[in-house]
């Protein structure tokens, strides 16, 4: 399956300070989950503030193809009328998840708990990403991969379990996608499905399952891990979801405001779930002042307005156990680190190799190409901050939205402009990134 847009190069340049207020789009993780849980619930789930990015729209299409009624209402909210746990219908066509690992893997979990067969596919980036990590636990629960491409890749045909078994699964990696797939399959199993993760990963699935009426108990396991136990076959009832602004998207204007001299930006209603805010903690250790005004929250998720001003930053060491709480933010942290004074060491980044691109290699390439000294040692990334970045490079984005946005943020403060070969994948998670940054004063075209 292909991405329809032709490559669209873009460039960012150093200019005036960034100023103003912005609300970045709804959280991608919560948006996927609201659509999927809405489809598995009985009754209507009304979602306001859904991220209307390509990744989430592909999940909406998939849930429709699996039998749920998914509509965009006149006021801009979305409604999902669900089919109930275990009630998904076999889709007539392969499900195309485009660029989205989250959509694909979570829906694989939902399908695994239903007696249906579905084929999963995606774009060239998603076709390179590992799916065995999801299949392994789902097969223990009774699902079966009837067909897949070499190396456990998409396209993949999954036969769901007629009578799914509850399991206790010790996940080898801290991955919310693996955990969520097992829990979603476990909804249809009798008894208790348990996931044990080595480090706590984002817990939106657990929080939203509780909002929809399921019993989910989460307890500490080991030093940084968690044990999550779901009681199967609950009466899931549709519930309203208000999607807070995505902290992973807020990261781009936030870092831009820190590195462009004289800037001051207010980012409103940003989700502040502690399993997502590792970047904010790290930037504070580097010397950033991020003022946080709590704003309540919904779907069991806290949120806050964040005010940030340009500040000199210093290099720090980021411990490996923080990685799950900022797994999508290392690219833009590496940009901040390049503008800091001194060395930043980011430890334990093995999972970055299997994201929309190999982000460990891509981050190093992006920085080197723009005159920054950077090394990869094992799973660690080391950036030598010199307080300034030369710029002048054209960065390859490898179908990865976050490389595109990180490189453009770098160009806003670098001595020479920074280009990217293709901006079209930004639409997967942050469709209005360019106009929003331009409104804050960024020179992007």
Residue closer to ligand S3P (CB basis): 99 or 370: 99
Quick check: is 432 catalytic? no
Is 422 a binding residue for ligand S3P by CB under 6 A? The answer is no
12 part of the interface to ligand S3P, by CB under 6 A: no
Of 330 and 339, the one with the shorter C-beta distance to ligand S3P is 330
The answer to whether residue 175 forms part of the interface with ligand S3P (CB under 6 A) is yes
Q: Which is nearer to ligand S3P, 269 or 328 (CB)?
A: 328
198 vs 99: CA distance, rounded Å: 27
177 binds ligand S3P (CB under 6 A): yes
**Count residues contacting ligand S3P (CB under 6 A)?**
11
Question: Quick one: which of 54, 197, 351, 422 contacts ligand S3P (CB under 6 A)?
Answer: 351
What's phi and psi for 283, nearest 5 deg?
A: -65, -35
Q: Which residue is nearest to ligand S3P (CB)?
A: 29
CB of 182 to ligand S3P, least distance (A): 12
CB of 29 or CB of 268, closer to ligand S3P: 29
Residue with Cβ nearer ligand S3P (258 or 327): 327
Among the options 27, 123, 328, 400, which is catalytic? 328
- Binds ligand S3P (CB under 6 A): choice among 31, 102, 193, 249: 102
Minimal distance, residue 262 CB to ligand S3P, in Å:
32
Looking at 29, 58, 273, 344, which residue binds ligand S3P (CB under 6 A)? 29
- 99 near ligand S3P, judged by CB under 6 A: no
Which residue stretch of 89-97, 176-184, 365-373, 374-382 sits at the interface with ligand S3P (rule: CB under 6 A)?
176-184
Residue 298 or 328: the one with the smaller Cβ distance to ligand S3P is 328
Please identify, among the stretches 10-18, 41-49, 173-181, 336-344, the one whose residues bind ligand S3P according to the rule CB under 6 A.
173-181
Nearer to ligand S3P, 3 or 202 (CB): 202
CB of 144 to ligand S3P, least distance (A): 22
3-state secondary structure string across the chain: CCCCCCCCCEEEECCCCCEEEECCCECHHHHHHHHHHHHHCECEEEEECCCCCHHHHHHHHHHHHCCCEEEECCCCCEEEECCCCCCCCCCCCCEECCCCHHHHHHHHHHHHCCCCEEEEECCCCHHHCCCHHHHHHHHHCCCEEEEEECCCEEEEEEECCCCCCCCEEECCCCCHHHHHHHHHHHCCCCCEEEEEECCCCCCHHHHHHHHCCCCEEEEEECCCEEEEEEECCCCCECCCEECCECHHHHHHHHHHHHHCCCCEEEEEEEECCCCCCHHHHHHHHCCCCEEEEEEEEECCEEEEEEEEECCCCECCEECHHHHHHHCCCHHHHHHHHHHCEEEEEECCCHHHHHCCCCHHHHHHHHHHCCCCEEEEECCEEEEEEECCCCCCCEECCCCCHHHHHHHHHHHCCCCCCEEECCCHHHHHCCCCHHHHHHHCCCEEC
Residues 192-211 close enough to bind ligand S3P by CB under 6 A: 201-202
CB of 29 to ligand S3P, least distance (A): 3
Contact positions vs ligand S3P (CB under 6 A):
29, 102, 175-177, 180, 201-202, 327-328, 351
Residues carrying an active site annotation? 328
């Amino acid at each position: 399956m292909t991405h329809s847009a032709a490559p669209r190069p873009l460039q960012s340049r150093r200019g005036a300070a960034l100023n103003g207020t912005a609300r970045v789009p709804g959280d991608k993780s919560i948006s996927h989950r609201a659509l999927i849980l809405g489809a598995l619930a009985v009754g209507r789930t009304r979602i306001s503030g859904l991220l209307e990015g390509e990744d989430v729209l592909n999940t909406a299409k998939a849930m429709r193809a699996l039998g749920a009624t998914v509509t965009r209402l006149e006021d801009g909210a979305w409604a999902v009328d669900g089919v109930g746990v275990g009630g998904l219908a076999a889709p007539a066509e392969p499900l195309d998840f485009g660029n989205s690992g989250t959509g694909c893997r979570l829906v694989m979990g939902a399908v695994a708990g239903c007696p249906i067969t579905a084929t999963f596919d995606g774009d060239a980036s998603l076709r390179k990403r590992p799916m065995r990590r999801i299949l392994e636990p789902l097969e223990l629960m009774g699902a079966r991969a009837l067909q897949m491409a070499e190396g456990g890749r998409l396209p993949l045909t999954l036969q769901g379990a007629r009578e799914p078994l509850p399991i206790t699964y010790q996940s080898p990696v801290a991955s919310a996608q693996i955990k969520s797939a097992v829990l979603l399959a476990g909804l249809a199993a009798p008894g208790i499905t348990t996931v044990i993760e080595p480090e706590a990963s984002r817990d939106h699935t657990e929080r939203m399952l509780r909002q929809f009426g399921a019993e989910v108990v989460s307890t500490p396991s080991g030093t940084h891990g968690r044990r999550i136990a779901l009681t199967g076959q609950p009466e899931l009832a549709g519930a309203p979801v208000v999607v807070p602004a995505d902290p992973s998207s807020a990261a781009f204007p936030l870092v831009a405001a820190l590195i462009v001299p004289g800037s001051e930006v207010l980012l409103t209603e940003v989700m502040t779930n502690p399993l997502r805010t590792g970047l904010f903690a790290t930037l504070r250790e580097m010397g950033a002042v991020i003022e946080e005004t709590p704003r309540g929250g919904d779907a069991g998720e806290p949120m806050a307005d964040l005010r940030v001003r340009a500040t000199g930053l210093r290099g720090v060491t980021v411990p490996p156990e923080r990685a799950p709480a900022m797994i999508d933010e290392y690219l833009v942290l590496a940009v901040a680190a390049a503008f800091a004074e001194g060395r930043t060491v980011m430890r334990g980044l093995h999972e970055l190799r299997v994201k929309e691109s190999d982000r460990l290699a891509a981050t190093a390439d992006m920085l080197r190409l723009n005159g920054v000294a950077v090394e990869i040692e094992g799973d660690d990334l080391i950036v030598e901050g010199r307080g300034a970045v030369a710029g002048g490079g054209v960065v390859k984005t490898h179908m990865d939205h976050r490389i595109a946005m990180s490189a453009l943020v770098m160009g806003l403060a670098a001595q020479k402009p920074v280009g990217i070969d293709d901006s079209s994948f930004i639409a997967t998670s942050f469709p209005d990134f360019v106009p929003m940054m331009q409104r804050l004063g960024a020179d992007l075209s």
